[in-house]
A = this chain, B = another copy of it.
């Protein structure tokens, strides 16, 4: 009898009887895995996040992230990392050393930079503007979220989902509202994964067939731009350096993200001489960062954190942030076309959202549906990449004012 009692105590069933909520969270974890594996929604992130949710909600396993207050000692003192590991286990050790310090999102941005080619943007610089308009979802949902009762910091974290950029959303949320990290990260990555659904939907809602047939190459022939780039390699090397310095003067709080992005891009563009660095940044470093980011962000989603009305607010608000961002880009194009002889395809506005490169691919497919010869991919990439800069800048603004 005694042995059976001890055996029972070893298991997690008593915990489950006390509080069955984790079972619901296990279901949420399995759904995320399903979306990542079967539906192929951003599998590189949703699979680790989903598994992290499961790990965190296995009762008695001690893999869930504890709230920040647990490690505060008051008077600006905190438990040290060794004590965190000792007290709360390896997941909290990873979370508090890699995520809560704000380290991994900039590290991932370094890898993203090493995989980014600013070429399409440099060849169509004007189109960058639409990457600005497509941040509209961020600031308008911020307004609505505050009206709906979110605190400004929470609202800022929610709104940044409209930037359609995972690391940016996570970085902003770590600083502003770490208790919402799980749902916001998941909403961000899920909607990014849903770009092939959201963009066509918003485009159909707002654009005429005639607009979608605007052929950018023909427009280029009709109204050729003056700039020819004679030495693209030199331009690509100088661009991240100068850009990084100038943006930093205006929005210094965006430097941890943008600075690392541009550093990654620089070592890539230098080429053979720094190949070891760009290979490492975009390979093992980024991949390892992705694993630990996903698992620990997922592990923040314990049942008491996730099963909250705010989660619904985040899911709904996140969608509108996304949708409004797409519309923002489209309507700036429409406005531009009213005053310019050289017309722009509104799809290029829609991709200002970022979600590189999927948004551009989706936009290209839409264009081809209306005109099988109308390849807009390279043009979309211009606004698409500038949308990444746009949301990092927006994040910097939010952090400056709300952080």
Contact = CB atoms under 8 A, between A and B. Distances in A.
A239 B2 CA distance: 33
Given A54-B245, A86-B78, A44 B11 contact: no
Contacts of A89: 102, 256
Given A11-B250, A80-B78, A61 B277 contact: no
A273 B54 contact: no
A61 to B, nearest CB: 4
Interface in A40-62: 40, 43-44, 47-48, 51, 54-55, 58-62
A305 to B, nearest CB: 19
A88 to B, nearest CB: 11
A280 B293 CA distance: 14
A358 to B, nearest CB: 14
Contact of A101 (B86, B101, B252): B86
A244 to B, nearest CB: 7
A251 to B, nearest CB: 7
A21 interface: no
Nearest to A283: B284
A281 B277 contact: no
For the complex of A and B, 9 pairs with smallest distance between CB atoms: A60-B252, A280-B287, A85-B101, A61-B255, A80-B80, A58-B248, A284-B284, A43-B273, A61-B252
Given A59-B249, A280-B288, 16 more contacts: A11-B251, A16-B249, A51-B259, A51-B263, A58-B252, A60-B252, A62-B256, A63-B256, A77-B83, A81-B101, A82-B96, A85-B100, A86-B101, A94-B103, A276-B286, A280-B283
A259 B85 contact: no
17 contacts: A10-B401, A33-B241, A37-B270, A44-B277, A48-B277, A54-B245, A58-B244, A58-B255, A60-B252, A60-B253, A71-B82, A80-B80, A80-B81, A81-B101, A85-B100, A279-B287, A283-B284
A85 B103 contact: yes
A78 B259 CA distance: 29
Sorting the interface of chain A by its residue count into under 10, 10 to 19, 20 to 34 or 35 or more gives 35 or more
A140 interface: no
A61 B273 CA distance: 28
Contact of A81 (B81, B244, B250, B266): B81
A279 B283 CA distance: 10
A143 interface: no
A250 B252 CA distance: 51
A295 interface: yes
A90 interface: yes
Given A43-B270, A78-B83, A291-B280, A6 B401 contact: yes
Interface in A247-300: 248-253, 255-256, 259, 263, 266-267, 270, 273-274, 276-277, 279-281, 283-288, 290-291, 295
A368 interface: no
A252 B90 contact: no
Contacts of A59: 249, 252
A13 interface: yes
Contact of A63 (B13, B47, B83, B255): B255
A397 interface: yes
Interface string A163-191: 00000000000000000000000000000
